Amino acid sequence: MSRISIWAGILFFLLAVVPASADTLEKKDGSVMEGRVIAETSDVVTFEVSSGGITFRQRIPRAQVRVVRREVREGPGFCTIPLVGEIGAEVKADDFRDALAAARRGGAEYVVLVIDSPGGSIDERNKILAVMVQTKDLKLIAYVKRALSAAAVLAVACPQICMAPDASIGAAVAFKIGPKGMPEDIEEKFRSAIRAGERAAAAMGDRSDLWIRGMSELNLELSLVQADDGRPRLVEGLDAPDAKPVKKKGEILTLTAKEALAFGLSSATITDVSFIRDSLGLKAWHDTGDQAWSIMANRAVALKGRAEATRARNAYFLVIQPEIVEMSGRAERAVAKASAAHAALGQLHAQFDSEVRAINAEYEQAIAQSPDSQALKASSAQNANKRLSNLRARMDPEIRRYQAVFNEAAAEVKMMVGRRDALLASMPPGE
């Protein structure tokens, strides 16, 4: 499936679960605003508008207002916040905290966490759980499309779970990525810390921690028994009287919406967020706006883009890495070759200059002994020129050979650097 079609499916899901409602303010000039009336006096209307996760308020003189239509708000307020994508990559605790703050500002009492996530970072999961612990003033409800691994723990931390008909929840096995990029088991000290977080999450949702243990421990066996109040209760083992097996040894618990409902993990299977009201036993509730949703969704899109850019760069680098390594090796060998040739050339030139100086010195000495003898000057000059010619004949081939080696090695270094730079220049852009 293409990236475009994947995101189109996610967008359809998001649009399907975001309720739309607002106050309407119509001005006398014919313009219409949708948002929320914050305050009204005989002189001015304070109107709040949210767009793209940004909220701003306007004080509009009453003389400019033709009519204000308020949304009928019955019952407590609610809003939705998406936890869509990978925990830690697209879902961040800081963004979640900001979204909850927006929910409070909007007057929400219930916050529906729309979860569609394969899981992700345990550290970020724990940060999100810490935010949830501090959220005593809001009633959190999980609406699960897909909640696996870390996302399953976040869902279990909500006191109420509702699931879409095709939803799944579970598979919360913790692992780390080893040096070869493959999952590896984690050390017991880390596992102990993870279990503590999972127990805290189960306590937040007022559930047995056996749910999360069943999602993460292979050797655990689980079954359902009927409690004194008539509701199903999850217990360890398969041997209790009239027990209904839930998980056998060697399995990791992952439940469909139907199974989660039958086992008592979820309270309802619904097709839309609006139906959660019925599962809460409320006659009415009202939507407090989409500011909280927009904050989380817009930041997730930005994080997704950065993550995809990073993955694209990493994937490209993995492709070119063998060639980069090979070119680096060739360049290093060529540099060593050029350095050796340059050193040899230096020695040859030094030797040549030394012998030229010796020939010239002997010529000068001979002339000095008989400065007036033209025949001696001619003979000495002829002898010096012959020796210089022989010197060049002896050393020039070596000099040319080392010069050629140096030029060839330098050209190869230049070619390798140019090729490397071209490959790196073609790397997909970063953030």
pLDDT per residue as tens digits for the range 310-347: 778 888 888 888 888 888 888 889 899 989 999 999 99
- How many other CB atoms sit within 10 Å of the CB of residue 289? 29
Number of domains, the chain:
3
Eight-class DSSP state of 270: -
Most confidently modeled range among 12-21, 54-63, 368-377? 54-63
Match 């916050």 to its residue by tokens: 111
Q: Residue 82: helix, strand or coil by DSSP?
A: strand
Same domain, 390 and 273: no
223 within domain boundaries? no
CATH number of domain containing 50: 2.30.30
Q: How far apart are CA 138 and CA 310, in angstroms?
A: 36
Residue 83 pLDDT more than 90?
Answer: yes
Domain encompassing residue 329:
313-425
Same domain, 209 and 86: yes
Q: Residue 408: helix, strand or coil by DSSP?
A: helix
Same domain, 271 and 370: no
Match 């609006």 to its residue by tokens: 274
Its pTM stands at: 0.62
Interval 86-96: pLDDT, tens: 999 899 999 99
Match 């012959």 to its residue by tokens: 386
Residue 11 pLDDT more than 60?
Answer: no
344 within domain boundaries? yes
Same domain, 280 and 369: no
Same domain, 116 and 51: no
246 within domain boundaries? no
Among 70, 90, 105, give the residue marking a domain's end: 70
Same domain, 158 and 265: yes
Same domain, 66 and 89: no
What residue type is assigned to position 252 of the chain? Answer: I
Q: How far apart are CA 403 and CA 338, in angstroms?
A: 9
92 within domain boundaries? yes
What residue type is assigned to position 210 of the chain? Answer: L
Eight-class DSSP state of 239: -
Interval 133-186: pLDDT, tens: 988 899 999 999 999 999 999 999 999 999 999 999 998 775 444 455 444 444
Cα separations (Å) of 69 from 27, 175, 242? 12, 54, 58
Helix residue spans in 168-290 (DSSP H): 188-204, 210-216, 257-263, 276-280
Interval 357-408: pLDDT, tens: 998 888 888 888 777 778 888 888 888 899 999 989 998 999 999 999 999 9
Read off the tokens for 382.
């002829």
User: Which of 162, 203, 7, 167 has its CA nearest to residue 80?
Assistant: 162
Cα 189 from chain centroid (whole Å): 26
299 within domain boundaries? no
The full length of the chain comes to: 431
What rounded mean pLDDT belongs to the chain?
84
Stretch 276-284: mean pLDDT:
90
147 has which bridge partners? 117, 169
Cβ-Cβ contacts under 8 Å for 197 (sequence gap 6 or more): 122, 125, 126, 129, 153
Same domain, 46 and 12: no
State the DSSP string of 139-154: EEEEEEEEEETHHHHH
Note the pLDDT of residue 1: 38
pLDDT band at 51 (very low <50, low <70, confident <90, very high): low
Interval 239-250: pLDDT, tens: 888 888 999 998
What residue type is assigned to position 117 of the chain? Answer: S
Eight-class DSSP state of 41: -
Same domain, 51 and 106: no
Note the pLDDT of residue 21: 56
CB 96 within 8 A of CB 128: yes
CB 170 within 8 A of CB 163: no
Q: How far apart are CA 420 and CA 411, in angstroms?
A: 14
Same domain, 181 and 259: yes
43 within domain boundaries? yes
Helix residue spans in 18-149 (DSSP H): 93-105, 122-133
369 within domain boundaries? yes
Same domain, 105 and 126: yes
Among 35, 54, 70, give the residue marking a domain's end: 70
Interval 113-124: pLDDT, tens: 999 999 998 889
